[in-house]
Amino acid sequence: MDAVGDAFYVIVMPGTLHFLLPCLALLPRHLKVVLLGNGASTWERHIVAHRFPGLPYCPLATLPATSLMHGDVITLLLQNESANFGLIDHDCYVFDPQIFESLAPGPNDCLTAIYGGVSAKTGVPYPETYLMFLHAAVLKDTMARYHVDARIHREAPQRLRAVLERIGLRDGVFVKDYLTFFDTLHLLVAISHVGGTSWRTTETKELIDCYIDWCFLDLVDSNDLRRRYRSRTRPFRSPAQVRAAIPMTPEAFAQVAWIDALVARLAPTPSAHTAEAG
CATH class of 3-200: alpha beta
Query: Closest Cα partner for 36 from 3, 83, 4, 68?
Result: 68
Give the residue, 107 or 52, on which the prediction is more confident: 52
* Res. 276 pLDDT band, cuts 50 70 90: very low
First to last CA, the chain: 38
* Res. 172 pLDDT band, cuts 50 70 90: confident
- The mean pLDDT of 117-133, rounded to a whole number, is 86
What percent of the chain has pLDDT above 90? Answer: 50
Q: pLDDT by residue (tens digit) across 203-253?
A: 455 788 899 999 999 999 999 999 999 888 888 889 999 999 888 888 888
Q: Classify burial at 193, counting beta carbons within 10 Å of its beta carbon; exposed 0-12, middle 13-18, buried 19 or more.
A: buried
Q: Note whether 161 and 187 are within 8 A (CB).
A: no
Q: Where in the chain is the domain with CATH 3.90.550?
A: 3-200
What's the confidence (pLDDT) of residue 270?
55
User: What is the model's pTM?
Assistant: 0.80
How many CB atoms within 10 Å of residue 66? 9
What's the confidence (pLDDT) of residue 79?
93
The per-residue pLDDT of the chain, averaged, comes to: 87
pLDDT of residue 201 exceeding 60, the answer is no
